[in-house]
Amino acid sequence: MDKIAQSANSSRSKRGNSFEDDIIKILKGMCKRDKIRRFERKPKIFGGEFNPDFIIEKVDGTFICIDTTTTARSDRLRGKQWDAYGTKLFYNEERNSKIVAFVVVQDIDTKKNEEDNFRRCKERAKLPHSALDDVISVKELIDYLEH
């Protein structure tokens, strides 16, 4: 791999890690304010076959599977679908609990193509065989957890 590609990959990795750190701060704040009971980062579902970014337990006992991404792209959604599928299977079969699965997209900029990509990803999450319940923004995640 050439140095330009390595630099680009490093930059994307740092941006993704920074976004996950932002989500952790939000979730810790929600725990302190008793909006959520707890959360787990990078749980290994079925021995690591499925690896969502977060599992959140709300105070009412409901569970939420969260995968994060810095850009709304359909190719990224495919891998997230797999994690959502396996996580839902685990919670339904092993824990006898319901769980919803969201992909949280870093707040999108106002570029038209990013808005269109976000809209298309939301539409794909609503397809009949999708394991995802929705593709949401950070603001939508906060609203969902607070209510």
Note the pLDDT of residue 2: 60
Global pTM reads 0.84
- Distances in Å between the Cα of 93 and the Cα atoms of 5, 35, 87, 106, 116 are 42, 26, 10, 31, 36
Greater model confidence, 52 or 78 = 52
Task: For residue 121, give its domain range.
Answer: 3-146
- Distances in Å between the Cα of 41 and the Cα atoms of 3, 20, 105, 119 are 31, 9, 17, 27
Q: Which two tokens stand for residue 131?
A: 């394991």
Asked whether 72 and 114 are in contact (CB, 8 A), the reply is: yes
Note the pLDDT of residue 5: 47
Domain count, the chain: 1
At 92-127, the pLDDT tens digits run 999 999 999 999 998 765 566 677 888 888 888 888
Burial class from Cβ neighbours inside 10 Å (0-12, 13-18, 19+) for residue 44 reads exposed
CATH number at residue 36: 3.40.91.50
